[in-house]
Amino acid sequence: MKRKNGLIARLALLLVLSALMCAGIVFIFADAHPLHASDRGKVAFAERGRISTQRGFLMKDNKVANGRIIKGLGGLYTVRLLDEDGNAQKSEDGYNDVKCRAKGAFRHEGVQPLVGDMVTLELGDGSSGAGKGAKAGAVINEILERKCALIRPPMANLDYLFITMASASPAPLTLVVDKLISIAEYNGIEPIIIITKSELDGATAKELCELYSSAGFETFMISSFDDSFPDVDRLGAFISDNVNKSGKIAAFAGASGVGKSTILNKFFPELKLDTSDVSRKTERGRHTTRHVELYPIDESAESGYIADTPGFSMLDFDHFDFFDKEYLTGTFREFDRYVGACKYKKCTHTKEEGCAILDAVKCGEVAKSRHESYLDMYASLKDKHAW
């Protein structure tokens, strides 16, 4: 009888051990998932297509690393490798960048890697990723969770959008600026307003500055050529504190010819971006940027990035259909305090009696030009088809 009981005990013990082993295996695979936004940059290595949140954990002999896409051109991507803290890897030769292509499955799934994406990269045989231009057989095999993604310009994970407008030459178009603001707000990108060429029309520059600062936006009034304007230093400090030291990504947007590249070269001369004069006939600048690329603000491993991109000035604003009309009100931050106070629950804020936003426009609490931009965008979006 004792012998029988001992056998039963040993069998029970084996069953418990087996269960624990299975639980361990399940735990490993449950932990191997694409990173949540809050975990970006915490992983140095991973198995193909599966991420481990355990630092330095290498599931197989395949050499796979994390990185950020900093350039994409003709299906060829440049990925800057990151360490386990999410900082750029550097060697004596500079940043550890890898030139590679994306796995073919992305194309079949309708997925496109974008500049700014955090990705996992299979380095392949002979591709160490050390030094500039290393690229022996490297492939992007996974795109980690995005904060946001834009179709044009094609980029992801943008944190700040510096929307640039001139006081004159070319004449300011507030509707274009307001559309850019709405696109940024909808995508969770913080819009920052910069009025350039303030020396050409100081009165208009001050009027624009008051318009957007009263709407709740960080606003800067500068000159493209006169550094004595007080906001020049303030803008430089803002970029340093909020973009560079925080490791964020920022882009500059605005109509062609307003001085975006001039501003970038003023604050970041090492970028050496192309600039062009405004055409006297059309009052538009010539497009000088051909592809999206991220440039580190300084040489530190923790540096933020500035995106040089042609896309924002090429958007088709005549056919504004970037989101559904139900989301439009939420992209005008100065409307927030009035939402819910209208007479009608489904108020469109266009013409209804008892609309709190219309009343705010009448008494000057909301700028008339901003509401006119809202009406223009609403007219475009109400005819947008669901397909």
Give the three-class secondary structure for 9: helix
The answer to whether residue 330 scores a pLDDT higher than 80 is: yes
CATH number of 155-317: 3.40.50.300
| Percent helix / strand / coil, the chain, rounded to 5 | 35, 20, 45
Contacts 24+ apart (CB under 8 A), 61-66: 62/122, 63/122, 63/123, 63/124, 63/127, 63/128, 64/120, 64/121, 64/122, 64/123, 64/141, 65/120, 65/121, 65/123, 65/129, 66/41, 66/118, 66/119, 66/120, 66/121, 66/144
Q: What is the pLDDT of residues 134-166, one digit of tens each?
A: 445 799 999 999 999 988 788 999 999 999 999
pLDDT at position 206 is 96
Contact 163, 317 (CB under 8 A): no
- Domain map (residue ranges) of the chain: 37-146, 155-317, 320-381
pLDDT at position 164 is 93
Contact 223, 199 (CB under 8 A): yes
Contact 302, 246 (CB under 8 A): no
Instruction: Name the range with the highest mean pLDDT among 35-39, 72-76, 151-155.
Output: 72-76
Contact 31, 39 (CB under 8 A): no
Cis, bond preceding 172 (omega within 30 deg of 0): no
CATH number of 37-146: 2.40.50.140
* β partners of residue 88: 82
What is the identity of the amino acid at 327? Y
pLDDT at position 129 is 45
pLDDT at position 287 is 44
Task: Say which CATH class 320-381 falls into.
Answer: mainly alpha
Measured at the CA of 61, the angle between CA 57 and CA 67, to 5 degrees, comes to 60
Give the range among 15-29, 135-149, 191-205, 323-337 with minimum mean pLDDT: 15-29
Rounded distance, CA 212 to CA 209, Å? Answer: 6
- Average pLDDT over the chain reads 78
The pTM of the full predicted model, rounded to 2 decimals, is: 0.78
pLDDT at position 22 is 45
